[in-house]
Amino acid sequence: MELKPRSSQIVICGNTYLEVENCSRIMEYNDIYLKVKTFSGMVIEIWGTGLLLSDYNTEGIAVRGKITSVELHGKEE
């Protein structure tokens, strides 16, 4: 499968690490909830406990903590 430019890719390792590529902005963030928007317009909501952004740059974000739920909303086609 070929990804479109600026497509988002989500990597989940167990329930303690999550990485999202091509985020355009962090919409909301605290230790139990993270909401990010991707360049394609998709919104990703991450729920858990002790959530911590361990890396944030122009390519994406890395989240550590106990992840309990991930929801996808929006336009990625």
Domains within the chain, CATH numbers bracketed:
10-73 (2.60.40.2000)
pTM for the complete prediction? 0.85
3-state secondary structure of 74: coil
40 backbone dihedrals φ, ψ, rounded to 5°? -85, -5
Q: What is the 3-state secondary structure (H, E, C) of 4-28?
A: CCCCCCEEEECCCEEEEECEEEEEE
Calculate ∠ Cα 52-70-73, nearest 5°: 120
Q: pLDDT, tens digit, for every residue of 45-57? A: 999 999 999 877 7
Quote the CA–CA distance of 47 and 62 in Å, as a whole number: 14
For 19-67, the pLDDT digits (tens) are 999 888 899 999 999 999 988 889 999 999 999 998 777 678 999 999 9
